[in-house]
Chain A
Amino acid sequence: MELVVSQLLTGLSIASILMLVALGLAVIYGVTGVINLAHGEFVMLGAYCAWFLQSQLGMGLLESLIPIFFILAVFGWAVEALVIRHLYDRPLDTILATWGIGVMAQQAIRLIAGGELRYVEIPAFLSGSVSLFGASESAYRLFILGLALVLFGLTWVIYRRTSFGLKLRAITQNREIASSFGINSARIYRSTFAYGAGIAGLAGALVSPLKSVSPEMGTTYVVDAFMVVVLGGAQSLLGTVASSGILGELSGFLAFHSNDTLAKALVLLAIVILIRFRPEGLFSTRVRS
């Protein structure tokens, strides 16, 4: 029984990290259709901000989360305004441009902060372990799980219950018609990009005490994030949650019964098979074609 609960919690923990990273990408890709290959670098920059704020200004992780969100949102805003804005009708060029931005961000960080692995401290009151239904789990991982759900809830409320979200949904369905209704689609796109970047930064900051901070940490995350978004369905927030849950539990289960290398390969295989039979992902919005 303890083993089953442990397994479940492990899967949820992996799923929550996946969801945090993928949420920003889901918002960006779902609304604007931009394939943002720099998303991993947004995560990395968030982690570096956490390290910087902690080591230079002595800020703890929790109190630095809000500043990190705004720093990354501003960065995302700048990226959209300077580069992405010109490339909306050219998907292949956005791929190249965002990948280039990613490479530049990585090397810039390496020049500024050096290539060493950096240390971000776990908040002291979360560094122990908690006993849940007989199994013990790290308190910090449970905190990440909770925060991921809160962020998802926040995004959902913005998307479904605010007028901003209404405009977002209108633009997603048909940009031209929405513009003709007086909705400033350029500004909405920019805000969406900024929000997605901010969430990615939060993900990086939250993940950094469990792992370490290095310039290359973003490249693995962008692959995972795209897998989650593609599997879940590009325009569905619920799909992101569902697919990160499935992938998290699947990886955890397979890794426990074999090893991590095999688990990674099998999960990728499962995604390929699922996409083959359902190319639009798990949850797709029905559109009149």
Chain B
Amino acid sequence: MPRTSCRKAGRTGLFCLWSSNVKTNRRNFLLGSAAFGAAGLGTFPHIWSKNSGLARAAGGQIKVGVLFSLTGTTAIIEESLNKATIMAIEEINAAGGVNGMEIVPVVEDPASDPATFAEKARKLVLQDKCVSVFGSYTSASRKAVLPVFEKRDNLYWYPTLYEGRECSKNVIYTGAVPNQQQDEFVPWLVKNFGKRWYLIGSNYIYPKEENNYCKKLLAELGAEVVHEEYVPLGHSEFSSVINKLKAEKPDVIFSTVVGDSVVALHRQYHAAGLDPEKMPMASLTTSENEVAAMGGAAAAGHFTSAPYFMVWDSPENQKFVEAYKSRWGGDKVTHFVSEPSYFQVHLFKQAVEKLSPDDIDPTTIREAVKGEQFNAPQGLVKIEGENLHTWLRPKIGQCKSDGQFEILQQSADWLEPIPYKAYDGQVCTADGLKSS
């Protein structure tokens, strides 16, 4: 009997069952593989057609992906980006959609994990056939999904400020790059406070690139960097840093720490009795969210540079803030990442409006959005056709003890995005990265 003999031969369990019922010989093996192969090819016919990967709008509906974490460590911020995106889509649909077609959002939750981001991106592009995906906050998640969008020639809209140094023709970058954040901020700080600078950041690529750019600007202005250091991500014990600040007495503390570290650094600075009028902290990452967590007392007197602040006084921004609060809750705040999440959907709509309904796919949308302008809450913005980044209007804000910012200066005109400005000889063009 097969069972006893196979146990004697040392085969156990399911393998015993399988091997005792199927004759394992060459003929059966070949038949089996042929059947398996035919079944595989039959169920995926689209791999045969060359253009099958392209997503198309169909049936009066335009499908877009929304890829922000709703759970996990970065969910706090990414939730607000999701909300801003959904609100923009609802606004557009309520006003008649895009040439009568409705935008249908497909919302996925990548749970703050870059690998899950890639997996969900693949699903949105391949399975749901979205013509664009709005997503990502961290650079790690953007880098994780990039291969998916480049391979399938789809379009990713990235609303977050980041370190630049990227030139993908499959990403529309609506967040600020280092030159936009620092070109006016750094000279203003040097003029108003002094030339001795202390650079402190979290230990990963974003602060390092920002500091790299900052050092170039400071060298041109004749200012000096008295100390540069990086603390581990999530680090919250800053007493040694405070001691160093007391010893060095810099004129400006240029801070690119992120997350919990922002709150801890500000609170300990305040507890140690240091004075923001003599030694202010200048940051690119302290928004209304961090200020709420650190309390008005610890936040007051320090500076942030960003294209958008919630208090910005313009009719578009008033409309945006009111709509956001009435849709999601009166205690919610808008900040410099949720605002680009909002206006990038409107730029998407403007681009798609220019296209004929049977010609809507990521490549045509990309060509259509180049040069498009929109009256965003921060002011008039434009997509730069050469590098797919956005012309933005940076502002310098000082935090007040009530937790809101006072805008001290705004750029006279919009600033051109130059993602490779810190790297001489490298330019991002429509044909890719050119080095000379």
Contacts and interface: CB of A to CB of B under 8 A. Distances in A.
Interface of A: 3, 6-7, 10, 13-14, 17, 110, 114-119, 121-122, 127-129, 136-138, 140-141, 209-212, 214, 216-217, 220, 251-252, 255-256, 259-261, 263-264
A256 B293 contact: no
Contact of A128 (B242, B243, B260, B273): B273
Nearest first, the 6 closest Cβ-Cβ pairs linking A and B are A255-B240, A117-B293, A129-B273, A259-B229, A212-B263, A138-B271
Contact of A210 (B231, B241, B264): B264
Given A209-B267, A211-B236, A260-B231, A138 B295 contact: no
Given A10-B240, A211-B260, A212-B264, A138 B230 contact: no
Give the interface size bracket for B toward A: 35 or more
Nearest to A131: B273
A160 B260 CA distance: 40
A116 to B, nearest CB: 5
The B interface is mostly helix, strand or loop, or mixed, namely: helix
B293 A119 contact: yes
Given A121-B295, A122-B271, A261 B75 contact: no
Nearest to A260: B231
A255 B297 CA distance: 27
Contacts of A255: 240-241
A43 to B, nearest CB: 12
A212 B286 CA distance: 15
Contacts of B203: 261
Given A6-B243, A252-B239, A255-B240, A129 B271 contact: yes
A211 B264 contact: yes
Contacts, number: 107
B147 interface: no
B294 interface: yes
Given A13-B239, A214-B260, A138 B268 contact: yes
A127 B268 CA distance: 10
B90 interface: no
Given A138-B271, A214-B260, A118 B243 contact: no
Contacts of B71: 110
Contacts of B241: 255, 260
Contacts of B293: 116-119, 212
B77 to A, nearest CB: 9
Nearest to A207: B236
Contacts of A220: 234, 236
A116 B289 contact: yes
A260 B292 contact: no
Given A129-B272, A209-B267, A212-B267, A256 B243 contact: yes
B153 interface: no
Contact of B232 (A121, A136, A264): A264
Given A210-B236, A212-B293, 11 more contacts: A7-B243, A10-B240, A115-B75, A117-B290, A119-B294, A136-B273, A211-B236, A211-B260, A216-B234, A260-B237, A263-B240
Contacts of A210: 236, 264, 267-268, 271
Contacts of B267: 122, 209-212
B237 A14 contact: yes
A77 B289 CA distance: 36
Contact of B247 (A3, A212, A263): A3
Contacts of B260: 117, 211-212, 214, 217
Given A138-B268, A214-B260, A256 B244 contact: yes
B390 to A, nearest CB: 28
A141 B294 contact: no
A280 to B, nearest CB: 28
B73 interface: yes
B411 to A, nearest CB: 30
